[in-house]
Amino acid sequence: MEELKKEPWLKESARDLLALGSLAIGLALVARSTLGGYWNFVYWVLFSFIVLFGLSFIIKDYERHLARGITLLFFTILFYKADSDITFLAIFLSILFIVMIASAFYLKKDTRTIVRGIFMGVFATALSYYISLPLARLLGLPF
């Protein structure tokens, strides 16, 4: 049986979903948060992205979009935690992240690369959550 060809729109949609973890999306969220004065979010995301950048010199082969996607997912949920509709948002963003993972598999990314990306994202997010705000205070950055 002949292997089915990927539908062009499906492949493009998979790439678009992975792009939700792009540096451009992350920096756009940071820029918007800076304008609104939401410094916790700014520091969390920036520190996490800096950690991921630094780790990329040690661990070369990981899915960067998924790593950044975890950071954006977690800190967006944390940012809106006081909102009454947080459960819906958390479920929606979690499903979106699962679809991002499925998209990486659909695009035939290496399984080890995907798993490393997820672990790198979790590590950078956890490190940022615990260290970025005390570090920002120590450096005298605005809050």
What's the whole-model pTM score? 0.87
Check if the beta carbon of residue 113 is closer than 8 Å to that of residue 62. yes
- Give the confidence band of 1 by pLDDT, cuts at 50, 70, 90: very low
Q: In this predicted structure, what is the pLDDT of residue 131?
A: 96
**Tokens of residue 48, six digits:** 């996490």
Residue with tokens 């790439």: 15
Distances (CA, A) of 71 to 8, 62, 91, 118, 126: 29, 15, 16, 10, 9
Task: Let me know: does 72 contact 18? Beta carbons within 8 Å.
Answer: no
pLDDT tens for each residue of 37-83: 999 999 999 999 999 999 999 998 999 999 999 999 999 999 888 66
The confidence score (pLDDT) of residue 34 equals 95
Inform me whether the pLDDT recorded for 3 exceeds 60. Answer: no
